[in-house]
């Protein structure tokens, strides 16, 4: 039987994995400069965490979670998103008591959602996200957005669009909720079954419906911005003011509600405007979630964060024709000629590696010509040719692959010579 990869997953092979490593390194470097620290949570959590944290009216909870019972009869779920597990850890480990506040965290890891696989969307995908917990300052919202924008721009993306909205506080949302119910109730039968259920449970979710997004009722639905109380309005104005000060252009979209129940106040998405990127343009989404910590059992603690898919990021880079500066090839390939040289090459390659030089050698007992071809396939910058004659003279021949130039180098000086050439 020939086994195949499960639908909606992918193997990241050598040649591609280096791109992922480069992106992850840039993300970690930026987080370090912004004083965010890595957190790693389990790949599966108790199902109740996502029911309470993400919301039982969301598509994620209703349709997309991978849920199973363990041998003890406990319901567990492969994490579909990163915020709820991070907040669970924040509460469980009492990080709200840390002297350094706010607590600023980031994560990189696989998430799982049972949805229809398509370009840039997988059932197992990798998210990078940040969470800042403990500050209700609108400048914190601007910082989180700035971090996301800096990551994309550092990687070379230019066709970006930032869209923001405010969902307001509890009072604002209560007034808007009733307006939405009044707006949709008379014609709710025209919308999908999910929307009909959401009308009373969470009418804001109707605006996020993928099936009915083009229905005329969506275009005429009451805007949350018309129901913001003065405090929520002023908060949103400050966020916009900080973004302007930071030189980050944005658009306001009153229909941007995001797909998770825990958001309030600021919500945002970063989209790709690159030609040919596809119908689904969202690269990154996030927002403020001031009630989530309490929902998961902690004290009243404000929070804000975002998450982005590495797969979507790679697709955007491809759409803009951006090549990442990842390492291609190796520094030095050691060609051994003769039995004694083969034995010495094992030690020599090990010494080169310990000196920080990316090195390899033949392990298939190939002839010299085949070894040189192997060096060429590995895109080696230099080839070190060692034979019994060279060993007798305590020297080694170095061939520059780009020019064909050869130099005889004393073996004790080899590492210094290679480092000089490679620099």
Residue list for the binding site: 81-83, 113, 127, 131, 258, 262-263
* Contact by Cβ (8 Å): 326, 124: no
H helix count then E strand count, the chain: 15, 16
* Contact by Cβ (8 Å): 256, 287: no
Residue 156 to residue 151: CA distance in whole angstroms: 9
Residues 310, 314, 317, 322, Cα dihedral to 10°: 120
Tokens read off for 369:
């010509």
DSSP string across 241-287: HHHHHTT---EE-TT---S-TT-EEEEEEEEE--TTS-S--EEEEEE
Tokens read off for 261:
């129940």
Three-state secondary structure along 79-136? CCCCHHHHHHHHHHCCHHHCCCCCEEEEEEEEEECCCCCECCECCEEEEEEEEEECCC
Instruction: Name the CA radius of gyration of the chain, rounded.
Output: 28
- Residue whose entry in the numeric block shows the structure tokens 């040719």: 385
348-378 burial by CB neighbour count: b if 16+ within 10 A, else e? bbeebeeeebbbbbbeeeeeeeebbebbeeb
Longest dimension (CA), the chain: 95
Annotated binding site for L-histidine: 81-83, 113, 127, 131, 258, 262-263
Handedness of CA 80, 81, 83, 86 (dihedral sign): positive
């Amino acid at each position: 039987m020939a086994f195949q990869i499960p639908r909606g997953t992918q193997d990241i092979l050598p040649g591609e994995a280096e791109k992922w490593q480069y992106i992850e390194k840039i993300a970690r470097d930026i987080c370090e400069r912004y004083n965010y620290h890595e957190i790693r949570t389990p790949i599966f959590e108790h199902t109740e965490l996502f029911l309470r944290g993400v919301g039982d009216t969301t598509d994620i909870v209703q349709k997309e979670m991978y849920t199973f019972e363990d041998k003890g009869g406990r319901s567990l779920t492969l994490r579909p998103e990163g915020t709820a597990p991070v907040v669970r850890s924040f509460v469980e480990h009492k990080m709200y008591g840390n002297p350094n506040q706010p607590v600023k965290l980031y994560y990189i890891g696989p998430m799982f959602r049972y949805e229809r696989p398509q370009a840039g969307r997988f059932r197992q995908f990798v998210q990078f996200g940040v969470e800042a917990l403990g500050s209700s300052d609108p400048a914190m919202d601007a910082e989180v957005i700035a971090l996301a924008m800096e990551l994309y721009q550092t990687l070379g993306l230019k066709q970006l669009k930032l869209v923001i909205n405010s969902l307001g506080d509890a009072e604002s949302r209560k007034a808007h909720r009733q307006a939405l119910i009044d707006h949709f109730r008379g014609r709710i039968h025209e919308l999908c079954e999910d929307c009909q259920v959401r009308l009373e449970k969470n009418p804001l979710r109707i605006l996020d419906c993928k099936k009915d997004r083009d229905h005329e009722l969506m275009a005429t639905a009451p805007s949350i911005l018309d129901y913001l109380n003065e405090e929520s309005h002023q908060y949103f104005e400050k966020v916009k003011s900080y973004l302007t000060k930071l030189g980050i252009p944005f658009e306001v979209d009153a229909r941007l509600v995001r797909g998770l129940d825990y958001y309030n106040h600021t919500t945002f998405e970063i989209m790709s405007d690159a030609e040919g990127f596809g119908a689904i343009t969202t690269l990154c989404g996030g927002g403020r979630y001031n009630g989530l910590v309490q929902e998961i059992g902690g004290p009243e603690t404000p929070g804000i964060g975002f998450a982005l898919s590495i797969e979507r990021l790679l697709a955007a880079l491809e759409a803009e024709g951006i090549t990442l500066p990842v390492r291609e090839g190796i520094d030095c390939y050691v060609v051994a000629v003769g039995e004694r040289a083969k034995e010495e090459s094992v030690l020599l390659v090990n010494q080169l590696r310990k000196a920080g030089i990316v090195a390899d050698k033949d392990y298939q007992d190939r002839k010299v010509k085949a070894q040189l071809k192997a060096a060429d396939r590995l895109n080696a910058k230099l080839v070190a040719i060692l034979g019994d004659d060279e060993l007798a003279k305590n020297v080694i021949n170095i061939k520059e692959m780009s020019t064909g130039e050869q130099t005889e180098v004393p073996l004790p000086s080899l590492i210094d010579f290679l480092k000089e050439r490679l620099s």
